[in-house]
């Protein structure tokens, strides 16, 4: 990565028009890299949330194994605690992400929601982000535009909204996603 930056910074300017074209090509390449980085970041968040949920669930199982050596009142207390923990497994992943990234819990929650959407509901859109065909902003806005629909309907829209997002400028792609949601297609 540093070699790429060094080459770009040290490139001699022989022809101003050629340099301008080269700089635009570099800008497009950096934009694709940024989209790929965003897809990796979101997927890491999603995997963290899954790992946190698994760890919490395992703790519940470990509590169950310890019940045999407890008195009846201790068993009742452990069962209550286990039920509460099982119901909230992974619940605080967004807060942990917020602390790690120095962002608000609300922002972390929104990003985790997007990460999960791109993995389960909008797989085509997630792939387009990974390939650098759409920006993180466009992926977020398109996924958000479809969120009021049931999950199955959102899955059915994925290919169409992704095609719009890849082929159109950001504003038009977002408007197209909103229009598709309003039409119910």
Q: pLDDT tens digits, residue range 93-127? A: 999 999 999 999 999 999 999 999 999 999 999 99
Residue 64 belongs to a domain: no
Burial class (CB in 10 A: 0-12, 13-18, 19+), 32: middle
pLDDT(185) > 60: no
Q: pLDDT at position 10, please?
A: 59
pLDDT(64) > 80: no
Which residue range is the domain that position 127 belongs to?
A: 15-53+94-183
Query: Residue 46 to residues 43, 93, 95, 109, 157: CA-CA distances in angstroms?
Result: 5, 9, 13, 11, 22
Residue 79 belongs to a domain: no
- The domain tally of the chain equals 1
Q: CA nearest 47: which of 153, 118, 106, 141?
A: 118
Residue 152 belongs to a domain: yes
| Average model confidence (pLDDT) across the chain | 86
Q: pLDDT at position 92, please?
A: 85
Residue 179 belongs to a domain: yes
Q: pLDDT at position 80, please?
A: 73
Structure tokens at 48: 């963290």
Within 13 Å, how many C-alpha atoms sit on residue 75's CB side? Answer: 8
pLDDT(70) > 80: no
Residue 171 belongs to a domain: yes
Do 76 and 63 contact (CB within 8 A), yes or no? no
b/e map 85-107, b = 16+ CB within 10 Å: eeeebbeebbeebbeeeeeeeee
| Confidence at 87, pLDDT banded by 50, 70, 90 | low
3-state secondary structure of 55: helix
Residue 153 belongs to a domain: yes
Residue 6 belongs to a domain: no
Residue 77 belongs to a domain: no
Within 13 Å, how many C-alpha atoms sit on residue 154's CB side? Answer: 18
- Name residues whose C-beta falls within 8 Å of residue 120's C-beta, 6 or more positions apart in sequence: 151
More confident residue, 4 or 124: 124
Distance between CA 73 and CA 87 in Å, rounded? 21
């Amino acid at each position: 990565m540093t070699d790429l930056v060094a080459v770009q910074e040290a490139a001699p300017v022989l022809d101003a028009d050629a340099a301008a074209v080269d700089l635009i090509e570099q800008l497009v390449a950096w934009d694709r890299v940024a989209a790929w980085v965003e897809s990796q970041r979101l997927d890491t968040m999603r995997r963290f949330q899954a790992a946190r949920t698994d760890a919490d669930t395992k703790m519940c199982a470990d509590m169950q194994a310890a019940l045999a050596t407890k008195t009846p009142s201790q068993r009742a207390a452990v069962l209550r605690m286990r039920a509460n923990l099982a119901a909230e497994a992974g619940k605080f992943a967004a807060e942990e992400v917020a602390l790690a990234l120095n962002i608000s819990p609300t922002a972390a929650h929104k990003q985790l929601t997007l990460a999960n959407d791109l993995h389960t509901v909008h797989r085509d859109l997630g792939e387009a982000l990974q390939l650098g065909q759409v920006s993180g902003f466009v992926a977020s806005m398109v996924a958000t535009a479809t969120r009021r629909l049931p999950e199955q309907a959102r899955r059915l829209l994925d290919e169409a909204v992704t095609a719009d997002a890849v082929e159109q400028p950001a504003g038009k792609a977002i408007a197209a996603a909103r229009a598709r949601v309003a039409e119910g297609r």
